[in-house]
Amino acid sequence: MLGPGPVQAAQRVRTSARIVIAGAGAAGLAAAARLAAQLDGARITLVDARKEHYYQPGFTLVAAGIKPQSYVVSTTAEYVPGSVELIEERVAEFDPEGKRVVTDSGRALPYDYLVVATGLMLDYDAIEGMEVGMIGRNGMGSIYHSPAGAAATWSALSTFADQGGVGVFCRPATEMKCAGAPLKYTFIADDHLRRRGNRGKAELIYNANNKALFSVPIVHEKVRMLFRDRGIRTNYDHVLRSIDLGRRVATFATPEGTVEQVYDFINVIPPMRAPDAVLNSALRWQEGAWGNEGWMDVERGTLRHKRFPEIFGVGDIAGVPKGKTAASVKWQVPVAVDHLVADIAGRSSDALYDGYTSCPLITRLGRAMLVEFDYENNLTPSFPGVVAPLEELWVSWVMKTMALKPTYISMLRGRA
């Protein structure tokens, strides 16, 4: 869980390279901190229009009623290293042949090296009938939308936990941010119902998008058993296509055709894809589902772009097999930065990202499974023999609620 150590100032490389970092979320800020610490004289520019910084791993806790909305909101500026320029504009265009990015005001930023950390786009429009302004109303929640959306989802869930009825949970068929969160929220709903003595009045349904609950087979099996134990009905190959917010009916695409599902509470998780600037550029995968969704075509071990070696893609935008999570960011960024700095210094780097990511999978309020794995679906426990990865433990919950945010903030500052 804890990442590579802090950057050593003594190893600074002298350079006048122009480095543009597109996106000042977790990956962009962590990259800026590490580059600023390792390079002396580089002109590093961060580009991001959003002034707030969101601690996204905390959205589930806000939507669970455990933490207030303010827990996940801070400002981007407070994490930007002093030597780094922050341009508060959105990247509108990537021009990898011309080695420049263009902002939405038309400002062109030439670069020698580019780090793409734009994050991803929540494609709510792809669900017919969905209106984000309705989140929190009439039994519809969506924990991913925003801090306010997560808080509004909690009010909808709390009402559901008081009244009971049919609770529907699902995930999209695209690549997605933290694939454990839809499962966590199902467990959280179950626990709130039990604590209020209303579990008997509720039916909980989890609609998986394919034939698995989790991409790592051994974790899928464990979650399948837990769902069985908690009385959560599971459907496979169900993908949310449209929703009637007034009638509270969700329509799912299945191999047998569409299926309508009446709900009293639903957690809508939209399809996710690359932001338009990446999707419409030469940076994306050129074929297959990842091409359609626009994820960046990077080498999975180095995060270096396959066709433009001076470009790296880190965080959610990277088209790699596992984990769009903060834990992935923590391990990806030092690897990409090491390769970038090695290029500048004229040496080679053997830093390799093996796909490590982690998911403190909450299975009830007060307990979680600390699931850590890599590209090959191997479990990679940080505390082997002490914290068992597939055991529901309080210690894992304690880590999620107490240690993760400080670790994350340390990562933004390049100290973890």
Partner 1 sequence: MKELDPMVFLAVFQEMLGPLLWVLVLLAVAGVAAFVALLVKERTLVSARLVRAELVGLLGGVLALVLMAKVSSSGFTDAGGPADWFLIALVFGVGLAGTTILAYALGGWWRCRCCCARRT
Residue (120 or 362) nearer to partner 1, CB: 362
**Applying CB under 8 A, does 249 fall inside the site for partner 1?**
no
CB 263 within 8 A of CB 167: yes
Stretch 347-386: interaction string toward partner 1, x if CB under 8 A: -----------------xxxx--------------xx--x
Query: Residues 199-228 vs partner 1: string with x where CB under 8 A?
Result: ------------------------------
- Roughly how many angstroms between the first and final C-alpha of the chain, as a whole number? 10
CB of 1 to partner 1, least distance (A): 5
- Which residues, 6+ apart, have CB-to-CB distance to 8 below 8 Å? none
Nearer to partner 1, 3 or 319 (CB): 3
Q: Does 395 bind partner 1 (CB under 8 A)?
A: yes
Extract the runs of DSSP E, i.e. beta strands, from 210-282.
232-235, 239-244, 249-254, 257-262, 265-267, 272-273
Distances from the Cα of 196 to the Cα of 124, 149, 192, angstroms:
32, 23, 6
**Binding segment (CB under 8 A) for partner 1, from list 50-58, 112-120, 212-220, 391-399:** 391-399
Among 67, 90, 238, 284, binds partner 1 (CB under 8 A): 67
From 66, 101, 183, 278, residue interacting with partner 1 (rule: CB under 8 A):
66
At 177 the three-state DSSP class reads: strand
**CA–CA separation, 342 vs 115, rounded Å?**
15
Closer of 76 and 103 to partner 1 (Cβ): 76
Verify binding: residue 58, partner 1, rule CB under 8 A.
no
**Residue numbers 1-30 binding partner 1 by CB under 8 A:** 1-6
Q: In sequence order, what are the residues at sequence separation of 6 or more whose Cβ sits closer than 8 angstroms to the Cβ of residue 379?
A: 216, 218, 371, 372, 373, 389, 390
Q: Binding segment for partner 1 among 44-52, 170-178, 258-266, 408-416 (CB under 8 A)?
A: 408-416
The least CB distance from residue 366 to partner 1, in Å, is: 3
3-state helix, strand, coil in the chain (%, to 5): 35, 25, 40
* Rg of the Cα atoms in the chain: 21
The residue ranges that bind partner 1 (CB under 8 A) are 1-6, 66-67, 364-367, 382-383, 386-388, 391-395, 397-398, 401-403, 405-407, 409-410, 413, 415-416
